Each structure stands twice: as structure tokens, then as C-alpha cells.
Amino acid sequence: MESENISILIIYTGGTIGMVKNPKTGSLSPFDFDHILKQVPELNKFGYRLNTITFDPIIDSSNINPAFWIKLVKIIKENYDKYNGFVVLHGTDTMSYTASAVSFMLKNLSKPVIFTGSQLPIGTLRTDGKENLITSVEIAAAQQNSQPLVPEVCIYFENKLYRGNRTIKYNAEYFNAFTSDNYPALAKAGIHIKYNYSVIHYPTVKREFDIYTKLDSNVAVLKIFPGINRNVVASFFNIKDLKAVVLETFGSGNAPTQEWFLDEIEKAIKRRIIILNVTQCSAGSVDMGKYETSLELLNYGVISGYDITTEAAITKLMFLLGQGLNNEEIKKNLNKSIR
């Protein structure tokens, strides 16, 4: 497909990348993304048709919530047939949560949805934003035999393209803000962009694209730590309307074996609260039953999260609960890859 026939929609939701410094006050404020080509004139050289949509108001990533995700997927659906790919500009702090949620909410996706942002505003001299944006646009437009090279929800940051629901933000200081320790990069950008085709998901049958817009946020995260006491755990599991818990455990899924702790786990599960076991480590997997300290959890009905990230675990639970599935159906879906 000729470059002039390729169209990309850039959706600016907020975040550092879209900020410019006021020369008088020194403070940062968002610029008008309708004029993105003035800020990044290099984009003109692609020859693509580039259009932009800016959230109004723009949202700091610390304020992201399920209503935001629903708004975003609706924008993608409304414009799905008009564009070859989408680039979403987003604050880095919660980008992994959004990329995970959106991956679950987009049904039968066959086009690229590339999230990116920056650690420095795009208007600053040393910004990482320009390269991140330029390469994200190039990846979103990349095709072979008129088919997109990366028809997935991804995060592109500092020369690497990751599967969105496999990422975590691990660095607040340097440009390599994200990592995907349990799944290889889908592409690496150097002099050329090298795609790792064997790990990219390509739909085998083209089905009609659609979106899910129902999420249930009655979920919570309980991080286990040495010295955690019964009052904390009991209070946590008695949160009003709580339906599911991401239990962040030690190592390969281990937790205390004190009788009171297991008693609280058992009571929660009897109240139909779903408990999903994920590791506190950024790399590796939950292997329930490997040690006695995780075997007890397995016996009580805690579900293994295997190598899922906390961000993906939370959003997957919100998504599955929102579909009105019963607990057994939710457990089946938690034990398999659905995106």
C-alpha cells in the first residue's frame, strides 16, 4: 500500500509527551495536538494521512479510571474503519494498566493500537517524545501484503515494542520506562525496525471488530509482607461489595501458612470472592504447589495467575466481572490467555 493511502489516528489523552514549557513562567501546559506536525515536522516525511483527536479535558495518567478506558475504546470503534492504525499518547504512570484494559476490551482486533508517551515533554530539547511518537506512527502504519505487521495493543518506548498487557512501568528516572520480563519484545528499533514475527499474534480468521464497555471495578490488590496481621487481612476481605482480589505473594506464589491467614482466605472464598495469586517479582511465574507455602493456597481454591502482571490481572478481573459471568466461568478464563 502506498504511503499516501495509509491513515493513522493519533489520540492524545494527556501525559508529559503533550506538554510544552511556557517561556515566561517555566510551567508546563498542553499544546494543541491539532498542530502536531508543527511540533514534530518529521512526521510529514512519511506521507501518511495523520489526524488527531484530543481528549477534552486531557487526563493526567494518575486519574485514569474505567470510564476513561470506555471512552477510549469507543473512539477507536468509531474510527476503526477509517484508519489503518492508531497511536495513543498517554501518561506513563498508568500506561500499562490502560494498555492491558484496552487489550481485553477490543474484540477481534486486526489493526495496530500503539501506546506511547515520554519522560520529557515533546517541546524540550532532550525529549524522548519525538522518537517515541515517530516510531510509533511508523509501526502503526507498517504493512506487508496490505496486512498490518503488528495487529495488537502494544506499548512502544525507548526503542522497544512490547505486548501491552505484558508490560510494567519499572523506571521513573530513565527513558527506558517499561519492561516486559515474561514476554519478548515484538520489535526493536535501531537503524531498522526489526520485527519478531514469531511472537506477534496474527488473527487466523478475520471476524467483525467490536468493543466491550462493561467493567466491574469491585476488585482490590492485597500485597503480602512479612508481619502482615490478621486485622489487616480480615478488614481487607470484608470490603463492601468486594468481588475479586489480586493477591501479590512472594516468589513463585508463596504466602504465610499461619492458621489465621488460611482461615481468612477460606472465609473469603466461601463468600464467593475470587482470589488470583500473582508474584510480587517483576519476572517469573507463580507455581502453586512447588512449595508447601503455596500448596495450602491451592487447596483452599486460590487461582494461579502464572506469569501475569498485576496490571493485567486487575484489568482482566474487571473485564471478566463486567461480562456477567459466574465464578466458574471467570476462573476458566483466568486460567487461559484470552488476548
Distance CA 279, CA 277 (A): 7
The alpha carbons of the chain give a radius of gyration, in whole angstroms, of 21
Exposed, middle or buried: residue 84 (CB in 10 Å: 0-12, 13-18, 19+)? buried
Could you give the 3-state DSSP secondary structure of residue 303? strand
Between CA 264 and CA 242 the distance in angstroms is 14
CB 213, CB 239: distance < 8 Å: no
Nearest alpha-carbon partner for 98 in 246, 314, 321, 284:
314
- In whole angstroms, give the CA distance from residue 152 to residue 164: 8
Q: Which residues contact 226 (CB under 8 A, 6 or more apart)?
A: none
**Which is the catalytic residue, given 16, 167, 279, 310?**
16
**What spatial distance separates the first Cα and last Cα of the chain, rounded to whole Å?**
28
Is 128:119 a contact under the CB 8 Å cutoff?
A: yes
Reduced to 3 states, what is the DSSP secondary structure of residue 175? coil
Beta-carbon contacts of 4 under 8 Å, excluding residues fewer than 6 positions away, are 47, 48, 49
Q: What phi and psi values does residue 286 have, to the nearest 5 degrees?
A: -75, 130
174, HSE (Cβ side, Cα atoms, 13 Å): 6
Peptide bond just before 57 cis, omega within 30 deg:
yes
Residues 164 and 95: their CA atoms lie apart, in Å, by: 9
> Among 35, 2, 7, which Cα is nearest to 140's?
7
Tell me if residue 116 is catalytic: no
Q: How many CB atoms lie within 10 A of CB 187?
A: 22
Catalytic residue annotation: 16
